[in-house]
């Protein structure tokens, strides 16, 4: 099976070709990702309308480039996989309409994929991890502990009840006058900082579950920053570095402790292979990765972190997820809808509330 995947849920436009041969591991034949950082830089965050227009302009070019890199044509492709949600609705809609056009023009099947399932199944693509495994999905818009039982069966053990870590990194970066995206900026500046100078909170560690909160931590950084400015008349480079280091250490501590609790719940299932996997852009942070790896060693679990190119948003994970799920379901038709919200575990109450558009997470 050879699928062309499309991804456009946020600010990365992506296309990829993934092939699965019988009895063999899937292979990524090409993967093209075009970012939009420069388009949104002056706004301090992703502007949905600008993102949607950029996706519409770049999707066909990404498809052409992915096909060229794999030395293939549309005639060679068996079907099309596309992120159908969750995400910024304009971007998701751009990808879905492009995939529908390709499917209608070629008469080949169309598969709508949950973006979060793409991340959650990436360890199967990169390391052929057997089910069940524990996945920490930690990114700009999401943070969840998932027990991955199969291609379409995900059990949520916990997650953030407000800001996702990546969102908190972006907001804190703005508070201390660092550029966007906030994650890499804070990680770089924190190298020269003293993480113990400011006493920042570790939210929800007094609760025994696996849920997390990062909004209060962001507010604590704001108040600490304001106090420093009031005392000194401004924020020095050293103050900036110490705030960044303190914030990063707090996020790392919370994620490490909550991961420890999630791992213990996972191990109650007595899996034959004990595996902790992590995916999402925040997983690229070395301090956070080291903290998670330390916890996995403590509990005698393997630690799997896909390479950065497959950890952040990409279309290879979407194509692979469709290949995995195609064994359990048929393709979608041209009534496939773009969905701004699409929780993986629908058996549990929404963590962030819900409305007319459905549960947020």
Q: Chunked in runs of 10, what are the mean pLDDT values of the chain (361 residues)?
A: 96 96 94 90 84 95 98 97 95 97 98 96 95 90 91 94 90 92 93 96 93 94 96 94 97 96 91 88 88 95 92 95 95 95 82 55 56
Q: How many CB atoms lie within 10 A of CB 255?
A: 25
Are residues 158 and 258 in contact, defined by beta-carbon separation less than 8 angstroms? yes
DSSP E strands, the chain: 2-7, 12-19, 27-35, 79-85, 110-114, 133-138, 143-150, 153-159, 275-279, 302-304, 354-355, 358-359
Q: How many CA atoms lie within 13 A of 262 on its CB side?
A: 32
Q: Where are the domains of the chain?
A: 2-122+311-359, 131-309
Distance between CA atoms of 332 and 153, rounded to whole angstroms? 18
- The angle formed by the CA atoms of residues 25, 30 and 35, to the nearest 5 degrees, is 125
- Distance spanning both ends of the chain, measured CA to CA: 31
Distance between CA atoms of 210 and 260, rounded to whole angstroms? 9
pLDDT at 262: 96
Q: How many CA atoms lie within 13 A of 295 on its CB side?
A: 24
CA dihedral sign, ordered 160, 166, 168, 171: negative
Q: Which helix (H) or strand (E) holds 337?
A: none
Phi, psi of 52 (to 5 degrees): -65, -45
DSSP string, 265-332: HHHTT--SS-EEEEESGGGG-HHHHHHHHHHHHHTT-EEE---HHHHSS-SHHHHHHHHHHHTTS--B
SS3 state at 146: strand
pLDDT at 118: 96
- Whole-Å CA distances, 300 to 106, 258, 296: 49, 16, 6
Are residues 169 and 217 in contact, defined by beta-carbon separation less than 8 angstroms? no
Superfamily of domain 131-309: ATPase, nucleotide binding domain (3.30.420.40)
Structure pTM? 0.91
Phi, psi of 157 (to 5 degrees): -95, -20
Q: Which helix (H) or strand (E) holds 162?
A: none
- Whole-Å CA distances, 261 to 38, 157, 209: 39, 10, 7
CATH architecture observed for domain 2-122+311-359: 2-Layer Sandwich (3.30)
DSSP string, 174-193: HHTT-PSSHHHHHHHHHTTS
Distance between CA atoms of 353 and 359, rounded to whole angstroms? 6
8-state DSSP, 197: S
SS3 state at 233: coil
């Amino acid at each position: 099976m050879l699928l062309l995947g499309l991804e456009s849920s946020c600010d990365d436009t992506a296309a990829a070709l993934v092939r699965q041969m019988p009895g063999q591991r899937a292979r990524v034949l090409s993967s093209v990702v075009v970012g939009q950082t420069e388009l949104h830089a002056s706004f301090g965050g992703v502007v949905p309308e600008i993102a949607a227009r950029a996706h519409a302009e770049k999707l066909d070019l990404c498809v052409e480039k992915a096909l060229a890199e794999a030395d293939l044509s549309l005639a060679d492709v068996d079907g099309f996989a596309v992120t159908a949600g969750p995400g910024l609705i304009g971007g998701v809609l751009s990808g879905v309409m492009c995939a529908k056009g390709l499917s209608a023009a070629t008469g080949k099947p169309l598969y709508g994929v949950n973006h979060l399932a793409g991340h959650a199944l990436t360890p199967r693509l990169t390391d052929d991890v057997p089910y069940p495994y524990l996945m920490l999905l930690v990114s700009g818009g999401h943070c969840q502990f998932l027990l991955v039982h199969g291609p379409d069966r995900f059990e949520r053990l916990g997650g953030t009840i407000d800001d996702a870590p990546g969102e908190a990194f972006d907001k804190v970066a703005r508070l201390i006058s660092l550029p966007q995206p906030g994650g890499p900026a804070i990680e770089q500046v924190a190298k020269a900082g003293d993480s113990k100078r400011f006493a920042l909170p570790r939210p929800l560690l007094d609760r025994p579950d696996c849920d997390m909160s990062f909004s209060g931590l962001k507010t604590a950084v704001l108040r600490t920053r304001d106090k420093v400015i009031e005392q000194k008349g401004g924020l020095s480079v050293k103050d900036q570095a110490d705030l960044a280091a303190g914030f990063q250490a707090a996020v790392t501590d919370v994620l490490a402790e909550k991961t420890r609790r999630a791992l213990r719940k996972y191990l109650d299932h007595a899996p034959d292979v004990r595996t902790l996997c992590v995916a999402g852009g925040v997983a690229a942070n070395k301090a956070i990765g080291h903290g998670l790896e330390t916890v996995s060693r403590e509990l005698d679990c393997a630690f799997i972190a896909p390479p950065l190119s497959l950890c952040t948003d990409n279309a290879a994970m979407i194509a692979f997820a469709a290949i995995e799920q195609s064994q359990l379901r048929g393709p979608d038709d041209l009534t496939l809808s773009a969905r701004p919200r699409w929780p993986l575990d629908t058996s549990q109450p929404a963590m962030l509330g819900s409305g007319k558009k459905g549960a947020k997470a």
